[in-house]
Amino acid sequence: MKLNLDQTKVARARAAAARISADIHKFIAAHTTTAVERTVARLFGIDGVDSDGVPLANLVVEDIARGGALSRGAALALGNASASLDLTPRQVAEQVAAGRISLAKLPFRPDAARAVADTYAHDALRRIAARRREREELLAELGEGDRPYLYVIVATGNIYEDVTQARAAARAGADIIAVIRTTGQSLLDYVPYGATTEGFGGTYATQENFRIMRRALDEIGQELKRYIRLVNYASGLCMPEIAALGAMERLDMMLNDALYGILFRDINMQRTLVDQYFSRIINGYAGIIINTGEDNYLTTADAVEAAHTVLASQFINEQLAHLSGLPDEQIGLGHAYEIDPDKADSMLLELAQAQMARQIFPRAPLKYMPPTKHMTGNIFKGHSMNSMFNLTSVLTRQGIHLLGMLTEAIHTPFLQDRYLALENAKYVMRAARSLADEVTFVPGGKAEARADEVLGKALDLLARVEQIGLMEAIEQGIFADVKRSRFGGKGLDGVAKQAPDYYNPFVAPMLAKQYLSGGEQ
């Protein structure tokens, strides 16, 4: 079941996206942010909070910024302090938190600072590489579900309740569990600490919560003899920090979109673009599959009219991901089944678009999102819409299949909602497993025409974005009908231009995949 796509258009669109990404990358590579530097601090082992609950990583980076040394990076400041005081970075952070020292006031010895920074960085790299190997070994030992992987969310607010629901979902056939974050976490400029039992519409992403859910999924995976993947969100104002926590706690997938925070959370675009780069480098190194957020465009814009903006953004997300060292196999590009069910041939159009995405990004584990916008509270109709979505997904061999809930638009899923969704998906996918091998599209028919139309419009859009640059395109509201100013939004005060002697000891070895099998040793 293949569409005859115009390969010249595909190549031209990809080339335009590569030039757009290379252009914005010049800006990204010349800047850092408080979140990036807090990530370095965390990777150096700086964990925990002070008596007011403020993370030590924040206190250290605030101290560095106050001393005017943010532009050189936290690694050198911490390396310098560790060398001068003969303390670990964690002990240095405790001294800062206690108000006993200020890092920028210590005499700066660049060579010693760099050498110590490298030592701690390479410790962290080896730890992350070990967690990655652990995943590979578990996958080899336990195996995994068929693709599309069945992905469900848990969102109770209480990590222990989440565990119960996640275990039940795994038993019912889920391959992937995502712990939805509490509403509002994306706008916190710090990562909360410890196990949490209160949240709204989701559960706080904390290192301890990651650990609790990881342990639970490993246990149930052993019992079911199927590796269960864990997902959280590297998004918001702490993108790279959460990516680092995910790497350390062996998460398997992270939502990570270059533009989502800008468009949907009004985070400053300079901040997000710089943050996404380092967060993706970490995801790439840790073997974490990223999930991009193009599906969200269709929740604000019309799914038929705006389908090409999804494709254009996928091209850009792909190229930016490549610049961060992510191979295609780790790029879960997002798209969604959001066409109005009252429209004639809605499934035909969805099928054409899903198959188009499959062929344009053949190695990417595409993340396919269920109907949400046209779910009404009529759970019975919603359940049949989800069946159509399930069928489209299995026919077009999507990689990551986010299950639709019959109670979408009513409440965060009940235990039984998830069970019914899994039952539905397993039935439909079992029933139609080989169907796509047995049917073909009519050459020049409606499906091919639709794919060609979307591809053509995406190419035009990319050409326009290339002309004005990505930032200007976002300012003009090209994506999702949302306009954002490059100087507006949250988090701009955390962006700094890198000094000539700026140093982040993780970037080069992570891009070179050092300590990984097949990478530089």
Name the site residues for another protein (rule: CB under 8 A).
157, 164, 167-168, 171-172, 182-184, 186-187, 200-201, 264-266, 299-302, 372-373, 376-377, 409-412, 414-416, 419, 423, 481-482
Q: Which of 120, 151, 260, 285 is catalytic?
A: 260
Q: Please check whether residue 240 is in contact with residue 278, taking contact to mean a CB–CB distance below 8 angstroms.
A: yes
Beta bridge partner(s), residue 369: 336
Nearer to another protein, 209 or 398 (CB): 209
Nearer to another protein, 200 or 427 (CB): 200
Let me know if 260 is a catalytic residue: yes
Q: How far is the CB of 273 from another protein (least distance, A)?
A: 20
Alpha-helical (H) ranges within 232-345 are 239-248, 260-265, 269-286, 297-300, 307-323
Q: How far is the CB of 477 from another protein (least distance, A)?
A: 10
Q: Please check whether residue 165 is in contact with residue 177, taking contact to mean a CB–CB distance below 8 angstroms.
A: no
Nearer to another protein, 200 or 487 (CB): 200
Tally the C-alpha atoms within 13 A of residue 219's C-alpha that lie toward its C-beta: 11
**What distance in Å separates the CA atoms of residue 339 and residue 505, rounded to the nearest whole number?**
46
Q: Which of 227, 257, 285, 367 is catalytic?
A: 367
CB-based burial label for 98 (10 Å; 0-12, 13-18, 19+): exposed
Nearer to another protein, 187 or 347 (CB): 187
Q: Please check whether residue 279 is in contact with residue 240, taking contact to mean a CB–CB distance below 8 angstroms.
A: yes
Q: How far is the CB of 301 from another protein (least distance, A)?
A: 7
Q: How far is the CB of 185 from another protein (least distance, A)?
A: 9
CB-based burial label for 519 (10 Å; 0-12, 13-18, 19+): middle
Beta bridge partner(s), residue 448: none
Kindly write down the DSSP assignment for every residue of 436-470, as one continuous string: HHH--PPTTSHHHHHHHHHHHHHHHHHHHHHHH-H
The tokens for 503 are 């140093």
Nearer to another protein, 48 or 201 (CB): 201
Q: Is 254 helix (H, G, I), strand (E, B) or coil?
A: strand
Burial 360-389 (b: 16+ CB within 10 A, else e): bbeebbbbbbbbbbbbeeebeebbebbebb
Nearer to another protein, 34 or 182 (CB): 182
Beta bridge partner(s), residue 151: 176, 402
Q: Which of 47, 252, 295, 452 is catalytic?
A: 295
Q: How far is the CB of 483 from another protein (least distance, A)?
A: 10
CB atoms inside a 10 Å sphere around CB 303: 24
Q: How far is the CB of 134 from another protein (least distance, A)?
A: 25
Peptide bond into 500 cis (omega under 30): no
**What distance in Å separates the CA atoms of residue 352 and residue 348, rounded to the nearest whole number?**
6
**What distance in Å separates the CA atoms of residue 494 and residue 352, rounded to the nearest whole number?**
43
Q: How far is the CB of 164 from another protein (least distance, A)?
A: 6
**What distance in Å separates the CA atoms of residue 22 and residue 28, rounded to the nearest whole number?**
10
**What distance in Å separates the CA atoms of residue 425 and residue 175, rounded to the nearest whole number?**
12
Q: How far is the CB of 441 from another protein (least distance, A)?
A: 30
**What distance in Å separates the CA atoms of residue 160 and residue 25, rounded to the nearest whole number?**
41
The H-or-E segment that residue 149 falls in is strand 149-154
The structure tokens 């190229």 sit at: 319
Nearer to another protein, 58 or 372 (CB): 372
Nearer to another protein, 58 or 407 (CB): 407
Nearer to another protein, 199 or 240 (CB): 199
Q: Please check whether residue 46 is in contact with residue 89, taking contact to mean a CB–CB distance below 8 angstroms.
A: yes
Q: How far is the CB of 183 from another protein (least distance, A)?
A: 5
Let me know if 367 is a catalytic residue: yes
| Active site amino acids | 260, 295, 367
